[in-house]
């Protein structure tokens, strides 16, 4: 009996203490500023997570029609990033992120052309080397006006492109206008790998020029371009053109790899961000001889990593720039995979050229970009490739 009596005050004390702790916890939940930082952060995070879950529960349970909790969450995450008003940051849901990862050297079935819309059909701006289109003699500037018996006049680019694409081994008939000449060609579609880098040799007034093209800064792009550069030089190229038109950029590390093919040492680019210290990226060695003259060919769609390479070669005096002003992006992004299989592509800092220039307009605003040394505009409707012809003339003159 005595031992039971002794336990009773202890039980009461524990109950009272528990109630006090509960009351204090409830009060602090409404006044988190009274807590130390470490505890306040944890409490607020838990409170925010509870609020999000509460709203998701209510919508999925009580909304007038069934709705997916996962779909709601993905849309909410996308809206959160959209609220930043940053055109370069985005949320990838798991499906979109898988598609993004598969974009490097995608396999396609088609004829091997890159096109832009034209009121009369599709204007060819590039033909992939060794593709069925190249074998059939299609070239830059050609206008596709009919696929089979279907006229493309007034049709959307998506509609017209779907008619041209198709299963490998099947045939498609195109009506093409080249200058004043109209012709019909039948092409057998093939499985293609969209080239990231390519090279060819052109001759300008007796000067052999290596025409190097790079379409994106995907993983391994620098190594591919280095191989193409070696092939061009082995084939007797006396000068080089690096064509970065329509190149929207990609990986920062690949920009350093590409610039290092041509710049032997020193700074390529520097970066600065709020959550990471300033970093300077240097040339990695193994550059080709600097006595080989170069031109970088650009247009308004040359952006991001392509601008980093262009500015590095211009600032270091390694190449002249021919074309128009580039896009004018002065920030860079990092992709962080998320636990749901998606990813966040987030602007984390600004980049600066070797001379300290930022090519943007302040933050995520578009800026002036790189100014060309020699202005030359693209005109897809004109026969031939005017900007490339100007680049050939400029780089050939460096040998005289």
* Active-site residue list: 304, 315, 329
| Distance, CA of 310 to CA of 49 (rounded, Å) | 45
The Cα-based distances of 285 to 19, 55, 219, 351, 353 in angstroms read 69, 55, 19, 21, 19
Give the helix ranges, DSSP H, for 105-151.
132-135
| 31, two tokens | 């006044």
Alpha-carbon separation of residue 134 from 16, 108, 174, 265, 346 (angstroms): 86, 16, 14, 38, 39
Do 211 and 237 touch, CB atoms closer than 8 A?
no
Q: How far apart are CA 198 and CA 126, in angstroms?
A: 12
Cα–Cα distance for residue pair 320/314, rounded to 1 Å: 6
Q: Which residue has the tokens 């198709």?
A: 166
In the chain the beta strands, taken as DSSP E runs, fall at 90-92, 107-110, 113-118, 121-127, 143-147, 150-151, 171-178, 181-188, 190-193, 197-204, 207-214, 239-243, 267-272, 279-282, 294-298, 320-323, 331-337, 343-352, 374-375
Tell me if residue 293 falls in helix, strand or coil.
coil
Angle between helices 252-262 and 305-315 in degrees, nearest 10:
30
Bridge partners, residue 346, by sequence: 334
Phi/psi of residue 337, nearest 5 degrees: -60, 145
Q: Which tokens is 397 given? A: 């003159």
Q: Which residue has the tokens 């860079």?
A: 332
- Read off the tokens for 187: 């092409």
Whether the Cβ atoms of residue 331 and residue 360 lie closer than 8 Å to each other: yes
């Amino acid at each position: 009996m005595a031992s039971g009596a002794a336990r009773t005050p202890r039980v009461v004390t524990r109950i009272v203490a528990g109630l006090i702790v509960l009351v204090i916890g409830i009060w602090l939940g409404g006044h988190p500023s009274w807590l130390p930082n470490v505890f306040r952060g944890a409490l607020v995070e838990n409170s925010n997570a509870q609020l999000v879950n509460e709203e998701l529960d209510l919508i999925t349970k009580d909304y007038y029609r069934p709705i997916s909790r996962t779909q709601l969450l993905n849309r909410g995450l996308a809206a959160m990033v959209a609220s930043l008003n940053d055109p370069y940051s985005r949320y990838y849901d798991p499906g979109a992120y898988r598609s993004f990862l598969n974009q490097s050297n995608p396999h396609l079935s088609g004829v091997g052309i890159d096109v832009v819309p034209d009121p009369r059909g599709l204007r060819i701006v590039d033909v992939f080397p060794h593709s069925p289109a190249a074998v059939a003699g299609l070239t830059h500037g050609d206008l596709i006006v009919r696929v089979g018996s279907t006229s493309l006049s007034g049709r959307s680019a998506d509609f017209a492109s779907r008619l041209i694409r198709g299963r490998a081994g099947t045939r498609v008939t195109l009506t093409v206008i080249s200058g004043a000449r109209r012709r019909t060609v039948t092409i057998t579609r093939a499985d293609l790998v969209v080239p990231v880098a390519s090279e060819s040799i052109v001759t300008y007034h007796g000067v052999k020029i290596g025409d190097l093209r790079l379409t994106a800064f995907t993983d391994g792009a620098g190594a591919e371009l280095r191989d193409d550069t070696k092939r061009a030089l082995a084939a007797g190229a006396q000068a080089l053109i690096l064509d970065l038109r329509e190149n929207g950029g990609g990986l920062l590390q690949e920009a350093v790899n590409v610039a290092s093919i041509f710049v032997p040492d020193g700074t390529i680019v520097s970066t600065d961000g709020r959550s990471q210290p300033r970093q300077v990226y240097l040339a990695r060695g193994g550059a080709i001889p600097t006595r080989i003259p170069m031109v970088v060919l650009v247009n308004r769609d040359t952006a991001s990593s392509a601008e980093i390479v262009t500015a590095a070669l211009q600032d270091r005096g390694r190449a002249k720039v021919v074309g128009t002003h580039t896009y004018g992006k002065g920030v860079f992004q990092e992709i962080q995979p998320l636990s749901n299989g998606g990813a966040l592509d987030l602007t984390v800092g600004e980049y600066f050229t070797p001379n300290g220039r930022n090519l943007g307009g302040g933050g995520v605003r578009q800026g002036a970009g790189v100014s060309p040394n020699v202005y030359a505009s693209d005109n897809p409707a004109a026969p031939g490739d005017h900007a490339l012809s100007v680049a050939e003339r400029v780089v050939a003159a460096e040998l005289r």
